[in-house]
Amino acid sequence: MKRFKGLSLIETIVTLSVLAVVTAVSVPVYTKQLANARAEKLEQDIFQLVDVAASYSLRRWKPTYIHLVNIPSDKPTTDSSWCLVVSSYASITKCSDEDDTPAEKANEKRVATVFGSKHTQISLKRLTSQTKFKFDNNSYSLFLGDERKFDISFLEAQAGSNTFTAKAINFKDFELEKVTVVTDDT
C-alpha cells in the first residue's frame, strides 16, 4: 500500500505564518515607496511646467503666468480638483478649457497644465496670497502681483511622509526644497 505524501497541518501553519510576517513587513515599505513615487512625479511635472513657462515667455516675447487653480492658502487640498496652468492670459480660474472660445484656444490660452487628477493622494497648499505669478520676459524677472520678486515659494506638497516646497528663485532658476518626515512605525 502506497502512502500519500502531502503537507501536514503543522507545515501549512508554519508556511502561512511566515507568509503573514513577510506581508506585514512589506506592505508599509510598499506604501512608502508609492508615496515617494507620487511626490517625485509631481516634482518632475512642476519642474517641466516652470521650464515651459520661462521658455514660452522668452520664445513668444510676452509675459507668461503660472496659475494656481483651486489650491487654497489656508489649508491643504482635500481632493484632486486643483491644477497648475501656464498661460499668457492673466486670468485663468478653471482647470478645464471647455469654456474657452475658439479664439482663446487658437491663441494658446493654456500652454501647459498639470492636473490634480493625475496626482491623487497628494495634498497641496498655496504659499502666496496670489493665485498666479508672472514671468516677465522684458526684465527677466518674476512678479507676484505688481511686486518684483527674486524668491517665490509658491507651493507646498505632501505625499505620505514626503513634503516639498516649490520655489522659483529668479527667471531661470527653480528649486524644490524637500523635507521628509520620519515617522516611527511601532
CA distance 60 to 185: 51
Q: Given this model, what pLDDT does residue 185 score?
A: 45
* Residue 100 forms part of a structural domain: yes
* Residue 185 forms part of a structural domain: no
- Say whether pLDDT at 181 is over 60: no
Q: Domain total for the chain?
A: 1
Q: Given this model, what pLDDT does residue 3 score?
A: 72
* Residue 117 forms part of a structural domain: yes
pLDDT tens-digit readout, 38-61? 888 888 888 888 888 888 888 888
Q: Given this model, what pLDDT does residue 182 score?
A: 44
* Residue 147 forms part of a structural domain: yes
> Which CATH number goes with the domain that contains 141?
3.55.40.10
Q: Summarize the confidence of residues 30-44 as an average pLDDT.
A: 82
CA distance 175 to 56: 19
Q: Which domain holds residue 68?
A: 10-180
CA distance 64 to 181: 34
The amino acid present at 54, given as its one-letter code, is A
Which of residues 94 and 151 earns the better pLDDT score?
Answer: 94
* Residue 150 forms part of a structural domain: yes
- Say whether pLDDT at 174 is over 70: no
- Say whether pLDDT at 176 is over 70: no
Q: Summarize the confidence of residues 3-8 as an average pLDDT.
A: 75
Q: Summarize the confidence of residues 153-178 as an average pLDDT.
A: 73
CA distance 133 to 66: 6
Tell me the pLDDT band of 17, cut-offs 50, 70 and 90: very high
Q: Summarize the confidence of residues 131-138 as an average pLDDT.
A: 81
Question: In what helix (H) or strand (E) does residue 55 lie, and over which residues does it extend?
Answer: helix 9-60
pLDDT tens-digit readout, 56-102? 888 888 888 888 888 888 888 888 889 999 988 888 888 887 877 78
CA distance 170 to 116: 25
Task: Give 129-168 as a 3 state SS string.
Answer: CCCEEEEECCCCEEEECCEEECCEEEEEEEECCEEEEEEE
